[in-house]
Structure 1
Amino acid sequence: MRTKIIATIGPSSANEEKLLALAKAGVNIFRLNFSHGNKDFFHSVISAIRNVQEKLGINLTVLQDLSGPKIRIGTLDVDSYQVQFGDVFYLGKEKVSDTYPFIPFEYEEVIKELKIGESLVLADGSLQFTVKECLGHGVLIESQSYGIITSRKGLAIPNKAINLPALTEKDIKDLAVGIELGVDAVALSFVQTPEDVILLRSKLKELGAEELPIVSKLERQMALDNLDRIIEESDMIMVARGDLGVECSLSLLPSIQKRIIKACNLAAKPVIVATQMLLSMVHANRPTRAEVTDVANAVLDGADCVMLSEETAMGEYPVETVSYMRKITAQAEEYFLTNNILKTPEYSCGLPEFLAYSACLLAEKANAHALVVHSRSGKSAFYLSSCRPKHAVYALTLSKNVLHKMNFAWGVSPYFVKDSQEPSHLVRVQDFVDEFALIPHGAKIVFTVGDQPPHLQAQGTNLVKIYTKQA
């Protein structure tokens, strides 16, 4: 199980029995969408996940997904509007006349930035409009499609930067709740600039949780313009294809996905592919051929994690969906590893990349059973993962935060080791191998650790070694 599976928890999956079944089927990370639910709900779910983790003796990660500044229309004064091509609506904060049907919209700063001829989309792209006239207090928008408008639908403005903070007041309150409940990672929605990530990190520091890893969700065009800098500031990246497919031309989405994944792989940062991966399984007990291909191609592109949303949150077959996803990823991994060739890092890369490459190359040449890394920050495990080795990677850490962080990395099985009187990472790794039942006696293992004399401060990974487990 090299590719990690993220499952969103909702009404279909919130009880401990179902969470246990999901974990057995292959879920590594449970996502809690803070756009829905309350503190009591999240507390019960997290408690149940911890119980499942203890029962199965495995590492499970809880991901808090903040709502972010999702732009929505308000509540209509009718049940819905039936939209025909060419229909004109008034979009604004307050109704000013009965000349045009009224769509309430409270974001005055967005209204002020709209220009005649610009495009708007509603309901995840199913309805398209153009701005016909700007009236100061609102705009007239003309329909370019057919459909139905209902209350609280999301609104997007393709190819336009939205001057809204990535962290809302609700997000800051939810963040404090998540930290109190013990989440293991935080996803930031609608990231546009690296400063958005820096702001979240400063809030985490204020709340005493600065070591929580941050997943930056890429959902806007501006994020693509700042891709490398956002990756640099983030711990992980999510290709959030729902809103991204609205912001950008839908036909460009596959190439955008590949571009983001490639950039994350080069930076040794885990990357998640999300949205509608097995959507038909919300109501069907098997996926479509196109969905199977989509999941497999995400793995072949280099995704570390694949994520389920509605499928496990409200679907009729959450466990079956995860089981199918695990089968698909396993087959894709087998094909990938059969054809994958270990790539030499670019000369411009740093020492950590070359050490990870050397460890993987040594494991191949020595026909090693596995790679074992001791990591304080998780970066060494990420570098090994980015090489996509054929060998199992066991990653040891003294930090519970890092343990859950490494759970996002492809091919990495993280293990928590308690601090001891023995300061040497090398000795700690050897002890782990000697006691670990999944590594047979006589097997060759490649270590990559930081090995400094006890009187010197730890300075990162500096040693690659072959070790044979004795009988």
Structure 2
Amino acid sequence: MRTKIIATLGPASMKYDVMKGMVEHGVRIFRLNFSHADAASFVPVVQDIRKLEQEMGIRLTVMGDLCGPKIRIGEVPGSPLQINKGQGVLLGLPKHAERAEEDRVFISLDVPELMEGLKAGDAVFLADGMLRFTVNRVLIPDQLFEMVARTEGLLTSHKGIAFPDKIHPLPALTEKDEKDLREGLDIGIDAVALSFVQGAEDVERLRRLIQEHGRIVPVVAKLERKAAVEHIDEIVAAADCVMVARGDLGVECSLAKLPVMQKRIIRACRHQQKAVIVATQMMLSMVKSPVPTRAEATDVGNAVMDGADCVMLSEETAIGNYPVETCAFIQGIAQSCEDYYLERLGGPYVPSPEKNIVKYLAYSACLVAEHADSAALVCHSTSGATARMLSSRRPSLPIFALSPDEGVLRGMNFFWGVRPRLADVSLVSHLERAVAFIRGEASIEQRQSVVITSGQPMPPGQPETKTNGIKLFYK
């Protein structure tokens, strides 16, 4: 299986045997959701993940997912309340609560920045888009509005609220996020996911905070806002990995446009050799059912065939009744669809016409390996960049990526087809380390060929060592 599974940990899965079962079925990244807990509560599970690594001999990645500025309404008197289609309600600052009437519910929002510029005709969504309203009249500019319900459902207190037609004025990182980030890095998380990213500056700010804390870990930019999609190329360039977070993105943008949006984001990531995660409701029915729906199986398969590096499970593994079984279904679907995906490709992706020697070396290595019927590709990747380049070409062969840095190894778990391995630092050259690995790797048989990409020292005055060599090696 080349596609990686990300599993969210929660009450249903924070047990050693359950996590082990998920790893056996393709999970390589565990997500810790800081929306529901703090770093201290995750200490035992991080320890269990490290113990699993030792027992199974597999690098596992711990991803901390920061909450971000999830905006919620205040207390709704009489909650829960039935809202009917066409019903009028009021939305405003808490100080205007006295404007509530017997037949007109008042929804309070104590974040005035979000209501600035709100006008008649604008959309307002509650409860992840299940309740949808349109602003009918502006009663007090930026403070109080009359809305009409476009759908019906239950309105309860403290539900999330979204304004699809507006640019979100709040920063992606909150004070809580900064605290969770520091504490998460201290307990050993290997990657950080940033919620509600709107531009490259959000990613760059997070990266600075990580560096100030004395760590370097991958940053995953979650695309949940309309503004993020409009700045996709800059965000992809700034991040190490991008998540298509279809829950909030489906609230902010038209559901009719979401399938094409997902494909465009995956394509943008592939063009910049960045990992991409498809998330939200991949196998939601398996929270309670032992088997997925046909539509869910097809959805997962399409994400794999679109070229996603990872698929992420949320409720399915956090609170579901069948966390291991869900991972097993994902694994089976991915393995089946990867075969078709590679058949349709007909060979490695050809690089776009640009002067990028590392990208063309990666493409050439994949071509040589395919034509030589090699067993694998092996690269030495000090930073992970070489493995990323090879992965972006989507070779049919496994990519063994060697690095002396455990953090880099865990970061490479985000990339399609990459199998991280620790390099033998007793050997000086990258090529020697690759050869030593091949000689000891049981899955590579005697007399089989392997294509090695490595970096050799450059003459004085030249740029730092990068991938600059391809070798066809026979074991």
TM-score, normalised to structure 1's length?
A: 0.97
Aligned pairs (5 A) from 1:207-356: 207-209=213-215, 211-341=216-346, 342-356=348-362
Partner of 1:131: 135
Q: Secondary structure at the match of 1:36?
A: coil
Partner of 1:432: 437
* Count of residues in correspondence between the two structures: 467
Contact 1:111/1:139 (8 A) holds in 2: no
**Are 2:186 and 1:184 equivalent residues in the alignment?**
no
Q: Please identify, of 134-143 and 288-297, the stretch whose mean Cα deviation from structure 2 is larger.
A: 134-143
Runs of 5+ unmatched residues, structure 1: none
Deviations, residues 57-113 of structure 1 (Å, cap 9, x unaligned): 111110100001112212323221210122222222311323232212111101123
Cα distance between partner residues in 1 of 2:362 and 2:111: 48
Residue 114 of structure 1 aligns with an amino acid whose one-letter code is: L
Deviations, residues 233-270 of structure 1 (Å, cap 9, x unaligned): 00000000001111110010000000000111111101
Contact 1:371/1:391 (8 A) holds in 2: yes
Partner of 1:464: 470
Partner of 1:4: 4
Q: Secondary structure at the match of 2:98?
A: coil
Distance 1:362 1:184, change over 3 A: same
- Detail structure 1 runs of 4+ shifted over 4 Å in the superposition: 453-457
Cα distance between partner residues in 1 of 2:82 and 2:114: 25
Cα distance between partner residues in 2 of 1:322 and 1:57: 19
Cα distance between partner residues in 1 of 2:156 and 2:175: 26
Contact 1:447/1:466 (8 A) holds in 2: yes
Q: Secondary structure at the match of 2:99?
A: coil
Cα distance between partner residues in 2 of 1:98 and 1:426: 73
Distance 1:332 1:349, change over 3 A: farther
Q: Secondary structure at the match of 2:278?
A: strand
Distance 1:105 1:207, change over 3 A: same
Deviations, residues 13-65 of structure 1 (Å, cap 9, x unaligned): 01112111211222111001100023332111111111111111111110100
**Are 2:75 and 1:71 equivalent residues in the alignment?**
no
Partner of 1:98: 100
Q: What's the CA shift for 1:454?
A: 9.4
Partner of 1:60: 60
TM-score, normalised to structure 2's length?
A: 0.96
Residue 108 of structure 1 aligns with an amino acid whose one-letter code is: P
Contact 2:350/2:393 (8 A) holds in 1: no
Q: Secondary structure at the match of 1:407?
A: helix
Residue 339 of structure 2 aligns with an amino acid whose one-letter code is: E
Q: Secondary structure at the match of 1:125?
A: coil
Residue 74 of structure 1 aligns with an amino acid whose one-letter code is: G
CA RMSD of the aligned region, Å? 1.4
Runs of 5+ unmatched residues, structure 2: none
Contact 1:74/1:103 (8 A) holds in 2: yes
Deviations, residues 98-157 of structure 1 (Å, cap 9, x unaligned): 323221211110112311210111111111111122314322222111111112211111
Aligned pairs (5 A) from 1:153-172: 153-172=159-178
Contact 1:423/1:454 (8 A) holds in 2: no
Residue 136 of structure 2 aligns with an amino acid whose one-letter code is: K
Cα distance between partner residues in 1 of 2:450 and 2:98: 73
Contact 2:38/2:180 (8 A) holds in 1: no
Q: Percent identity?
A: 48
Contact 1:28/1:60 (8 A) holds in 2: yes
Q: What's the CA shift for 1:162?
A: 0.7
**Are 2:399 and 1:397 equivalent residues in the alignment?**
no
Residue 224 of structure 1 aligns with an amino acid whose one-letter code is: V
Q: Secondary structure at the match of 1:415?
A: strand
Q: Please identify, of 304-313 and 345-354, the stretch whose mean Cα deviation from structure 2 is larger.
A: 345-354
